[in-house]
Structure 1
Amino acid sequence: MHSRNGTAADLRIYGGALDAPGGGFLAAVVVMQVRGIQGEVTVVMRDESLSGGYRFKDAAAALRFAMDVGMKAARQSAQPVFS
Protein backbone atom coordinates (compact mmCIF):
# COMPACT_ATOMS: atom_id res chain seq x y z
CA MET A 1 0.00 0.00 0.00
CA HIS A 2 1.10 3.50 -0.84
CA SER A 3 -0.37 6.50 0.96
CA ARG A 4 -0.43 10.26 1.03
CA ASN A 5 -2.29 12.74 3.18
CA GLY A 6 -3.22 16.38 3.09
CA THR A 7 -5.24 19.03 4.88
CA ALA A 8 -8.04 21.29 3.67
CA ALA A 9 -9.43 23.67 6.30
CA ASP A 10 -10.45 21.49 9.27
CA LEU A 11 -10.46 18.29 7.20
CA ARG A 12 -7.73 15.68 6.85
CA ILE A 13 -7.54 13.69 3.61
CA TYR A 14 -5.93 10.25 3.51
CA GLY A 15 -5.39 8.81 0.03
CA GLY A 16 -4.21 5.30 -0.69
CA ALA A 17 -3.15 3.08 -3.56
CA LEU A 18 -3.98 -0.50 -2.61
CA ASP A 19 -2.42 -3.49 -4.36
CA ALA A 20 -5.19 -5.07 -6.43
CA PRO A 21 -5.52 -8.83 -6.77
CA GLY A 22 -4.17 -9.76 -10.20
CA GLY A 23 -2.08 -6.59 -10.55
CA GLY A 24 -2.48 -2.85 -10.58
CA PHE A 25 -3.68 -0.52 -7.84
CA LEU A 26 -7.05 0.50 -6.43
CA ALA A 27 -7.59 4.08 -5.28
CA ALA A 28 -8.98 4.65 -1.78
CA VAL A 29 -9.71 7.78 0.24
CA VAL A 30 -10.90 8.78 3.71
CA VAL A 31 -11.79 12.38 4.56
CA MET A 32 -12.11 13.21 8.26
CA GLN A 33 -13.07 16.35 10.13
CA VAL A 34 -10.32 16.76 12.72
CA ARG A 35 -10.68 20.32 14.01
CA GLY A 36 -13.56 22.41 15.14
CA ILE A 37 -15.46 19.50 16.70
CA GLN A 38 -15.78 18.18 20.21
CA GLY A 39 -15.37 14.48 20.94
CA GLU A 40 -14.83 11.91 18.21
CA VAL A 41 -13.33 12.59 14.82
CA THR A 42 -16.04 12.54 12.13
CA VAL A 43 -15.62 10.65 8.85
CA VAL A 44 -16.93 12.88 6.06
CA MET A 45 -16.23 10.42 3.23
CA ARG A 46 -14.80 6.93 2.93
CA ASP A 47 -14.41 4.89 -0.26
CA GLU A 48 -12.01 1.97 -0.49
CA SER A 49 -12.71 1.21 -4.14
CA LEU A 50 -12.99 4.52 -5.97
CA SER A 51 -14.09 4.61 -9.57
CA GLY A 52 -15.93 1.31 -9.32
CA GLY A 53 -12.78 -0.66 -8.58
CA TYR A 54 -10.89 0.52 -11.68
CA ARG A 55 -7.30 -0.77 -11.59
CA PHE A 56 -4.67 1.87 -12.15
CA LYS A 57 -1.40 0.80 -13.77
CA ASP A 58 0.78 2.49 -11.16
CA ALA A 59 0.48 3.64 -7.57
CA ALA A 60 1.16 7.30 -8.41
CA ALA A 61 -1.90 7.51 -10.67
CA ALA A 62 -4.12 5.83 -8.08
CA LEU A 63 -2.86 8.19 -5.35
CA ARG A 64 -3.35 11.25 -7.54
CA PHE A 65 -6.94 10.20 -8.28
CA ALA A 66 -7.68 9.42 -4.62
CA MET A 67 -6.34 12.79 -3.43
CA ASP A 68 -8.27 14.66 -6.15
CA VAL A 69 -11.51 12.97 -5.07
CA GLY A 70 -10.72 13.69 -1.41
CA MET A 71 -9.99 17.37 -2.08
CA LYS A 72 -13.25 17.70 -4.04
CA ALA A 73 -15.19 16.10 -1.17
CA ALA A 74 -13.46 18.45 1.30
CA ARG A 75 -14.37 21.51 -0.78
CA GLN A 76 -17.99 20.36 -1.08
CA SER A 77 -18.31 19.70 2.65
CA ALA A 78 -16.96 23.19 3.37
CA GLN A 79 -19.58 24.85 1.12
CA PRO A 80 -22.37 26.62 3.02
CA VAL A 81 -25.77 25.01 2.54
CA PHE A 82 -28.64 27.32 1.64
CA SER A 83 -32.30 26.33 1.63
Structure 2
Amino acid sequence: MFTFSCFGNTWYIPKSLRIMIGDRYPKSPTRRLTILYSSSLALVACLSIAGQVVIQRLLSQQQLDIQVVGNVERQQLLSQRLAKFS
Protein backbone atom coordinates (compact mmCIF):
# COMPACT_ATOMS: atom_id res chain seq x y z
CA MET A 1 0.00 0.00 0.00
CA PHE A 2 1.31 3.42 -0.97
CA THR A 3 0.04 6.66 0.51
CA PHE A 4 0.59 10.14 -0.81
CA SER A 5 0.43 13.24 1.38
CA CYS A 6 0.03 16.75 0.07
CA PHE A 7 -1.28 19.86 1.83
CA GLY A 8 -2.32 17.84 4.87
CA ASN A 9 -4.35 15.29 2.89
CA THR A 10 -3.35 11.64 2.52
CA TRP A 11 -4.38 9.48 -0.45
CA TYR A 12 -3.97 5.78 -1.17
CA ILE A 13 -2.61 5.11 -4.68
CA PRO A 14 -2.68 1.51 -5.96
CA LYS A 15 0.45 0.21 -7.68
CA SER A 16 -1.20 -0.12 -11.10
CA LEU A 17 -2.30 3.53 -11.01
CA ARG A 18 1.15 4.67 -9.84
CA ILE A 19 2.70 3.04 -12.88
CA MET A 20 0.23 4.73 -15.25
CA ILE A 21 0.14 8.28 -13.87
CA GLY A 22 3.04 8.48 -11.46
CA ASP A 23 3.20 9.07 -7.74
CA ARG A 24 2.26 12.75 -7.77
CA TYR A 25 -1.46 12.63 -8.56
CA PRO A 26 -3.93 12.41 -5.69
CA LYS A 27 -6.95 10.14 -5.85
CA SER A 28 -9.46 12.99 -5.44
CA PRO A 29 -11.08 13.79 -8.81
CA THR A 30 -11.44 17.49 -8.04
CA ARG A 31 -7.79 17.78 -7.05
CA ARG A 32 -6.75 15.92 -10.21
CA LEU A 33 -8.91 18.21 -12.36
CA THR A 34 -7.43 21.24 -10.64
CA ILE A 35 -3.92 19.99 -11.40
CA LEU A 36 -4.84 19.24 -15.03
CA TYR A 37 -6.52 22.65 -15.39
CA SER A 38 -3.51 24.46 -13.95
CA SER A 39 -1.16 22.46 -16.15
CA SER A 40 -3.26 23.27 -19.21
CA LEU A 41 -3.21 26.97 -18.41
CA ALA A 42 0.55 26.87 -17.91
CA LEU A 43 0.96 25.09 -21.25
CA VAL A 44 -1.17 27.69 -23.03
CA ALA A 45 0.86 30.49 -21.42
CA CYS A 46 4.15 28.88 -22.48
CA LEU A 47 2.91 28.38 -26.04
CA SER A 48 1.73 32.00 -26.18
CA ILE A 49 5.10 33.25 -25.01
CA ALA A 50 6.92 31.00 -27.49
CA GLY A 51 4.68 32.25 -30.30
CA GLN A 52 5.37 35.84 -29.33
CA VAL A 53 9.14 35.18 -29.36
CA VAL A 54 8.91 33.69 -32.85
CA ILE A 55 6.81 36.59 -34.14
CA GLN A 56 9.18 39.19 -32.67
CA ARG A 57 12.17 37.49 -34.33
CA LEU A 58 10.36 37.45 -37.67
CA LEU A 59 9.44 41.13 -37.32
CA SER A 60 13.02 42.12 -36.55
CA GLN A 61 14.23 40.12 -39.57
CA GLN A 62 11.60 41.83 -41.70
CA GLN A 63 12.82 45.23 -40.47
CA LEU A 64 16.32 44.37 -41.71
CA ASP A 65 14.87 43.27 -45.05
CA ILE A 66 13.04 46.61 -45.38
CA GLN A 67 16.32 48.47 -44.93
CA VAL A 68 17.99 46.34 -47.62
CA VAL A 69 15.11 46.93 -50.04
CA GLY A 70 15.36 50.68 -49.36
CA ASN A 71 19.05 50.63 -50.21
CA VAL A 72 18.38 48.69 -53.41
CA GLU A 73 15.71 51.18 -54.47
CA ARG A 74 18.08 54.08 -53.83
CA GLN A 75 20.84 52.42 -55.86
CA GLN A 76 18.38 51.76 -58.69
CA LEU A 77 17.30 55.41 -58.72
CA LEU A 78 20.91 56.60 -58.78
CA SER A 79 21.83 54.24 -61.61
CA GLN A 80 18.80 55.43 -63.62
CA ARG A 81 19.94 59.04 -63.12
CA LEU A 82 23.45 58.14 -64.27
CA ALA A 83 22.08 56.41 -67.36
CA LYS A 84 19.84 59.40 -68.13
CA PHE A 85 22.69 61.92 -67.98
CA SER A 86 25.27 59.91 -69.87
Give the TM-score range, shorter chain.
0.3 to 0.5
Q: With CA pairs under 8 Å and 6+ residues apart, which has the higher RCO, 1 or 2?
A: 1
More helix by share: 2
Q: Which structure has greater strand proportion?
A: 1
Q: Return the index of the structure with the highest Cα Rg.
A: 2
> Normalising to structure 2: TM-score of the pair?
0.34
